[in-house]
Chain A
Amino acid sequence: MATTGTPTKLTQKTQGGIGESTLRPDGTLKVTGEFAYSSDMWHEDMLWGQILRSTVAHAEIVSIDTSEALAQAGVYAVLTYDDLPTEVKNYGLEIQDTPVLAHGVVRHHGEPVALVAADHPETARRAAAKIKVEYKELPVVTDEASATAPDAPLLHPGRDDHHAGHVPHPNIVHRQPIVRGDADEAAKRADVIVTGEYTFGMQDQAFLGPESGLAVPAEDGGVDLYVATQWLHSDLRQIAPVLGLPEDKIRMTLSGVGGAFGGREDLSMQIHACLLALRTGKPVKIVYNRFESFFGHVHRHPAKLWYEHGATRDGRITHMKCRIVLDGGAYASASPAVVGNASSLSVGPYVIDDVDIEAIALYTNNPPCGAMRGFGAVQACFAYEAQMDKLAKALDMDPVELRQLNAMEQGTLLPTGQPVDSPAPVAELLRRVKARPLPPERQWESTEGADVRALPGGLSNTTHGEGVVRGVGYAVGIKNVGFSEGFDDYSTAKVRMEVIAGEPVATVHTAMAEVGQGGVTVHAQIARTELGVSQVTISPADTQVGSAGSTSASRQTYVTGGAVKNSCELVREKVLEIGRRKFGSYHPAWATAELLLEDGKVVTDGGEVLADLVDLLEDEAVEIEAEWRHRPTEAFDLRTGQGNGHVQYSFAAHRAVVEVDTELGLVKVIELACAQDVGKALNPLSVIGQIQGGTTQGLGVAVMEEIIVDPKTAKVRNPSFTDYLIPTILDTPTIPVDVLELADDNAPYGLRGIGEAPTLSSTPAVLAAIRNATGLELDRTPVRPEHLTGT
């Protein structure tokens, strides 16, 4: 096949099992430009797909006229809803409410309406522009008030999904109350009570590689799809019914993924490319540009959060009440699970026995929101940590001391009644970030004057020190690891061991989406540790092997790593069986001793070499494909929120040091120190990379990142990298990281999922530092210059 950019096997010849900072097997390809991302795919004779999207947020589609577009030279197909091949015309992660192409109505700005395939992207763009869509605009639903008003237009009339029965209004996707103890009664014991209303802006994942992929029609009537995603099998499950093909006729291969952060958990161009490829009989490539990418994936839920905390004079928290309203936008996506996280983690890493909690997600005409790193826990952490500072102030206590006094420990009950059954070093993490020496004051000052690059405003030369005030702030957070609430969260790994060119080689094949996190590095390390080989080949991820679940929820090293470990153990057993069969009679240890595979040999636990794997295996290959799952969880009770919903937790704490130009409202973060418990660092270099990256995304939503939606029209006002700003290297401080390794005995190697926790506490730490510098209350994030200057 003349497809270029097809993923290749990654082989790495290095020593190094778990615990070592082995280097990425895809590193060389990535630094030479040879690594094939989904947008790099190319096929002879391929066409370019283009999506026509709605220009309004809520409207009836009166008519669509594609004739002029079809008449363009170089156009091969123009598809609308009427061209969908089966009765299945919607998809969705949990609720199938998202139309493949709009039918009769559009519910958000940028919703896909029609598709074009043409021989050049410009031809496709021009043709799409010639499709005439007549809209009759409808009133927009943009917030809780407009969504639940008596005459509110229903976004999805006639809902029959499994949440429809228990929500108080059809424009509420899901509602999760959690009641434990008696918050009203406990409030009577409080000496101080603090309340707050907080706003969390809409954050975009802003992964650098926009959505893209290539669909190649196959001779058997099926399709080969190369795509960047977070979960191949979830995509497949949603694509197949729409195309009317059995799943085995859609062969999906993971292409290089340019970051994900939750934004690739939902489908984007997958079905569209397949539809165009099957219609035209030609390979079709779709690549979003940055503008389209802002419409092409879900965002982090913006949220309104009401909190009340009480405490006794000595700083013991008496109770907490909160109400969290998440804006899910036009389609459900992951909203129900985000509600589950936001509610069950709304207390934070604290001991509070009496709580009254409610979280809901709305259907509105705003952009659909779903998964993003931190997933519901991020919004809650921003609010409860602001409350902690407020409470400390009201008590005239040190904010870190207050947190430590109320910090959760192993054995603490969550508001869901579930005990935390692994180490929870919350107080220790805070102690560590606090104990770190503060960075020197006025680092921008030198004998030659002020270096503006180190000052708020940076190269823009706005201050030489005038108005600059330093502030320090702390925050800590808790994130669940893995899929919760009774989801059957498993991964599959196929491991093969054989002798190639006189050397034992392990091959690991999973469907895990490597999105940059370094899962491929860790899989090779696990195989080396378990199988005692130095050479491990990581096969490209595809749907020829069982599901590996999603690269999200900080779960891949835990669950797919666990599956690789498990399959390696099964392979090892088989290898030892072969050894016993072949060599058992030569040495009694084959029957009596604990046997290990090390350095290509079978050795006893005493270190005695029994056989060389090369001699043992000869031309025999051992291969096992097996599923592995973490301990089961259960759903939260819909009325009380009680239930053992989570399997593991991840904790991180931050100390932010900022300098604020108080007159202009500009912020420079000087240092953002993090301490995190990772259970066991399988690859310390990658662990630190994850923590620093997550920390920086938290910094972004503290001071600059926000998708701004016009409240009157529900249209996105800043879908570009010119106006949706993410931190540059000049906005990012030094990020010293302190890694704790307290094993979770329930997890493989004692490890903890690590990817998300640093994103939680980074934002409130920065906000706390800005409050400390300015004395302002600051109840929203991101904080903009006008908020700091009262303008």
Chain B
Amino acid sequence: MRVNFTVNGRRQEADDVWEGESLLYVLRERLGLPGSKNACEQGECGSCTVRLDGVPVCSCLVAAGQVEGREVVTVEGLADYAKQREQSACGTGACGTSLQDAQQWSAKGSDSHTGEGTELSPIQQAFIDAGAVQCGFCTPGLLVAADEMLERTPSPSDEDIREALSGNLCRCTGYEKILDAVRLAAARQGNQEATV
């Protein structure tokens, strides 16, 4: 069957989809978006978390045919998604690209090999800075879930963070650095809002 849907703001069409395929399989194997990870295929690990019409879901538990006409955001689109959210949240017009941001952008350049110079969302940057990434296999799902939590709950308590991320397994970190990363992103987000 054929499935048409939007991924990270772009219209996509997948052809010859087997009816039993999951959204995860279509993203990874048909659309060249392997960022969402396949770690359990039974909704027990959260590594494949994407946003479906804005809502975090396990893409392994969504039948490909169910996404017809719907909107999906994956980790690959997270930075753009966060940027758009930030821009649309600003009604005053005073929070476009700051001079500092503009300078950073031009100074950074882009290195396709290592991703240096890639623009990251606050939660992505915080994961790197806090040491929340080891093998990184759980990271994409955690980022999508954590970003959505911070959207809903800008100043979460530790228990809020734990509850929101309780559907995402990590085997490397013991979660402490992941908590640090979410706290860091929340704090930075708070600071930014305070300065606007």
**A residues adjacent to B (C-beta < 8 A):** 4-5, 8-13, 21, 23-37, 39-40, 42, 120, 122, 205-210, 256-261, 287, 289-290, 451, 453-454, 459, 515-518, 685-686, 688-689, 692-697, 720-722, 726, 728-730, 732, 734-735
Is B45 touching A721 in the complex (CB atoms < 8 A)? yes
Is B162 touching A10 in the complex (CB atoms < 8 A)? no
Taken together as a complex, chains A and B put the C-alpha atoms of A686 and B128 apart, in Å, by 12
Is B114 touching A31 in the complex (CB atoms < 8 A)? no
Question: Which among B21, B124, B165, B172 is the interface contact of A32 at CB below 8 angstroms?
Answer: B124
Is B174 touching A695 in the complex (CB atoms < 8 A)? yes
B63-81 vs A, CB cutoff 8 Å, 1 = contact: the mask equals: 0000000000011101100
Is B128 touching A516 in the complex (CB atoms < 8 A)? no
- Nearest B-chain residue to A9, judged by Cβ: B113
Interface residues of B in 37-66 (CB under 8 A from A): 37-42, 44-45, 47
Is B135 touching A258 in the complex (CB atoms < 8 A)? yes
Taken together as a complex, chains A and B put the C-alpha atoms of A120 and B139 apart, in Å, by 28
Is B165 touching A257 in the complex (CB atoms < 8 A)? no
- Nearest B-chain residue to A8, judged by Cβ: B113
Question: Which among A4, A28, A287, A689 is the interface contact of B118 at CB below 8 angstroms?
Answer: A28
Taken together as a complex, chains A and B put the C-alpha atoms of A24 and B136 apart, in Å, by 11
**B residues adjacent to A (C-beta < 8 A):** 18, 20-21, 28-29, 32-42, 44-45, 47, 74-76, 78-79, 111, 113-116, 118, 120, 124-125, 127-129, 131, 133-140, 143, 159, 161-163, 165-179
Once A11-B111, A729-B165 are accepted as A-B contacts, the answer to whether A32 and B174 lie under 8 Å apart by CB is no
Is B174 touching A692 in the complex (CB atoms < 8 A)? yes
Taken together as a complex, chains A and B put the C-alpha atoms of A13 and B111 apart, in Å, by 11
Is B136 touching A32 in the complex (CB atoms < 8 A)? no
Once A516-B135, A721-B42 are accepted as A-B contacts, the answer to whether A12 and B114 lie under 8 Å apart by CB is yes
Question: Which among B36, B136, B177 is the interface contact of A258 at CB below 8 angstroms?
Answer: B136
- Nearest B-chain residue to A458, judged by Cβ: B166
The interface centre, meaning the residue of B40, B135, B165, B173 with most chain A CB atoms within 10 A of its CB, is B135
Q: Given contacts A10-B113, A209-B135, A516-B137, could you give 15 more A-B pairs where the C-beta distance is less than 8 Å?
A: A26-B114, A26-B136, A30-B133, A32-B120, A37-B137, A39-B34, A208-B170, A259-B137, A451-B159, A459-B166, A516-B135, A726-B169, A728-B168, A730-B163, A735-B174
Report B-chain residues with C-beta under 8 Å of the C-beta of A688. Answer: 131, 176-177
Taken together as a complex, chains A and B put the C-alpha atoms of A261 and B159 apart, in Å, by 29
Is A721 touching B79 in the complex (CB atoms < 8 A)? no
- Nearest A-chain residue to B130, judged by Cβ: A685
Is A122 touching B20 in the complex (CB atoms < 8 A)? yes
Taken together as a complex, chains A and B put the C-alpha atoms of A34 and B137 apart, in Å, by 11
Once A209-B37, A209-B39, A689-B131 are accepted as A-B contacts, the answer to whether A33 and B113 lie under 8 Å apart by CB is no
- Nearest A-chain residue to B34, judged by Cβ: A40
B182 CB to closest chain A CB, in angstroms? 10
Once A28-B128, A32-B118 are accepted as A-B contacts, the answer to whether A729 and B171 lie under 8 Å apart by CB is no
B95 CB to closest chain A CB, in angstroms? 24
Once A688-B131, A689-B131 are accepted as A-B contacts, the answer to whether A8 and B171 lie under 8 Å apart by CB is no
Taken together as a complex, chains A and B put the C-alpha atoms of A545 and B195 apart, in Å, by 52
